[in-house]
Amino acid sequence: MTRSHSQNLPWLHWLDTCPSTNTWAIAHLATLQHGDVVFTPQQTAGRGQHGRVWHSPPGVLTASVVLDRIPVVHLPVLSLGAGLAVIYAIEDCLPALQGVLRLKWANDILLDGRKLAGILCETSANGGVGRVVVGIGLNRCVDFNQAGLDENAIGRAISLHGVSADVPEPIVLLERLRHYLLQTAGLLQLEPENIHQPAGLTAFLPALRSRDALVGHPITVVLGNEQVKGQAAGISDRGHLLLQLPDGEVRSFVSGHILW
């Protein structure tokens, strides 16, 4: 593994290869700063949500961004904000995709109902405030057949190069991702006026709700050994997933794996 620190981009830590950018960033948090980005073109042991494997064949943009002073109570909201950051970054680079991308609560970005990107937020907390590593895997130029991956086994994945002939370079995407994640962090670092609603969430809610891929669809929320079926009823004022049960009751979920 080779580590290089770009002189032109002091926030960028480029690794020729590594098992996981999130794992590397967490191991080196003491030397990383707010807004630093760890990037590798070759991730060999990526990790996804709930302990699942994140496949990283050639062409997947894999990066982790360090964000400081995030209140621990706001971590679920950060994942949603990070999803919007990924959407905005892609739209900046590919305006033809404006209004097309959707967020599958709480950490997947979809294009035409297929998985384009995933997010994994991990924290090192000290009291009520944490340093957070936001891991992003974005299918930029991936040939899934050549990689020997079944698209159904990887969330019916789709790659940017399959919908655009002009795919942005990794550095361009990284700069845009960092820009929007820093904005997200700035909103969440503010102290909330209402303890029942995380700071900054009010600014996110309209965009989150307009991008909600699940609302109105029958889904199953998996929590450990429990499976709860119903119809997705949107995102609450606290960023939780709302699920309308068959008897009409609406349950709120702060976490869970979604089947649909």
User: Residue 22: which region, alpha, beta or left (left: phi > 0; alpha: psi -120 to 50)?
Assistant: alpha
pTM above 0.85, yes or no: yes
| Tens digits of residue pLDDT in 71-92 | 887 888 899 999 999 999 999 9
Q: Tens of pLDDT along 203-230?
A: 889 999 999 999 999 999 999 999 999 9
> Where is pLDDT greater, at 30 or 8?
30
Identify whether the C-beta of residue 103 lies closer than 8 Å to the C-beta of residue 213.
Answer: yes
Task: Give the tens place of pLDDT for each residue, 138-149.
Answer: 999 988 776 666
| pLDDT single digits (tens) 89-125 | 999 999 999 999 999 999 999 999 999 999 999 998 7
Question: How is domain 3-210 classified at the CATH fold level?
Answer: BirA Bifunctional Protein; domain 2 (3.30.930)
Structure tokens belonging to residue 3: 């580590």
pLDDT of residue 8: 83
Distance from the Cα of residue 94 to its chain's centroid: 18
**In the block, which residue shows the tokens 């991990």?**
122
Domain boundaries of the chain, sorted by first residue: 3-210, 218-259
Token pair 């360090």 in the structure block, residue: 66
What letter represents residue 242's amino acid? L
Domain 218-259: which CATH class?
mainly beta
The predicted model gives 23-31 an average pLDDT of 95
Query: Where does the pLDDT of residue 20 fall: very low under 50, low under 70, confident under 90, or very high at 90 and above?
Result: very high
Whether residue 170 is predicted with pLDDT greater than 60 in this model: the reply is yes
- What integer pLDDT is reported at residue 50 of this predicted model? 46
Query: Which of 241, 230, 233, 242 shows the shortest CA–CA distance to 215?
Result: 233
CA distance 37 to 130: 17
Side-chain-side CA neighbours of 92 within 13 Å: the count stands at 16
What are the tokens at 231? 């119809």
**Confidence (pLDDT) at 1:** 44
The pLDDT of residue 128: 77
